[in-house]
Homo-oligomer: A and B are copies of this chain.
Amino acid sequence: MLFIAYQGEPGAFSELAARRFFGRTAKLVPMVHFDDVFRFTAKGGSKRGLIPIENSVFGSVHQNYDLLLDHKLSIIGEVTLRIHHHLMALPGVRMNHVKFVFSHPQALGQCEDFLRTLRSARQIPHYDTAGAAKMIKAEGRTNAAAVASVQASRTYRLNILRRNVESNHHNYTRFLVLARSGKFPERRAKTSLVFATKNVPGALFQALAVFALREVNLLKIESRPFVGKPWQYLFYLDVLGSPRNEKVRTALKHLEEVSTFTRILGAYPVGRTFQE
């Protein structure tokens, strides 16, 4: 049995992403915190872990960048999910019964244009989108609705009152798949790495030059504080190509010359995007 750890309640977007990536037979194990996903996978409780790393509206999940550094797991894959939010309630509840709307504050924010049309309904923040759906089911709340995924509506048997209530329809979340070790693929790969620059002018430019001069494409850069060294930074890069590719390999070697620290977090096939 393939055990996969993810963070959230059953019905969370992470569960949906894990299901898309691993298929029907994988056994998905919900965890409370992101940290738990890393720990549980590191000690072998699950074969794989899945974490969100970036949303196209809200940006990176910076905590997970920090956890990638703290733990020695490898990124072995990625998967992207189109985020649709739906308004859901117990069967029999109609739109005009809804006095309270529960969801994660980010999800409420993503649906504010629609929610503003529900004048008599108060928005109540909840720790999790699927958790809000679960609570409505568990407490039998007939005056409330949740904003959550279609998966959550199925898990907790809620009726969808209104579909796709998100304001911005270009809403995607990208997830990373983690394992204790990984092999670098030959082609159509991305490489994720982290490095620290020397504390000299032009250091970041020099570091990016090792890729640009070899025409290795930079897909993403994220900076995080170098804890203990105020105003120095760690840089996380995603570049196109595998370390098994000549250009990427020599670029990584060159990067070591101009940085004080380098680590490859993983190389993995460019992921698919699922529309729901």
Instruction: Identify which of A2-10, A24-32, A39-47, A220-228 touches chain B.
Output: A220-228
A276: Cβ under 8 A from any B Cβ = no
A217: Cβ under 8 A from any B Cβ = yes
Which residue on chain B has the smallest CB distance to residue A174? B231
What is the count of identical protomers in the complex?
A: 2
What chain B residues lie within 8 Å of A118 (beta carbons)? none
Q: Which of A201-236 contact B (CB under 8 A)?
A: 201-202, 204-205, 208-209, 211-212, 215, 217-225, 227-231, 233
A57: Cβ under 8 A from any B Cβ = yes
Is A223 touching B221 in the complex (CB atoms < 8 A)? Answer: yes
Which of B168, B208, B223, B231 sits near A204, CB closer than 8 Å? B208
Chain A, interface SS category: mixed
Is B205 touching A209 in the complex (CB atoms < 8 A)? Answer: yes
Which residue on chain B has the smallest CB distance to residue A203? B218
Is A228 touching B168 in the complex (CB atoms < 8 A)? Answer: yes
Which of B56, B209, B212, B219 sits near A225, CB closer than 8 Å? B56
Which of A57, A209, A227 has the largest count of B CB atoms less than 10 A from its CB? A227
Which of A59, A228, A229 has the largest count of B CB atoms less than 10 A from its CB? A59
Q: Which of A174-212 contact B (CB under 8 A)?
A: 201-202, 204-205, 208-209, 211-212
Chain A 151-186 interface 0/1 with B at a Cβ cutoff of 8 Å (1 = within): 000000000000000001010100000000000000
What chain B residues lie within 8 Å of A212 (beta carbons)? 202, 205
Offer 10 A-B interface pairs, CB within 8 angstroms, sorted by A.
A59-B225, A170-B229, A201-B215, A201-B217, A202-B212, A202-B217, A205-B212, A219-B231, A220-B233, A221-B233
Chain A residues in the interface with B (C-beta under 8 A): 54-59, 62, 168, 170, 172, 201-202, 204-205, 208-209, 211-212, 215, 217-225, 227-231, 233
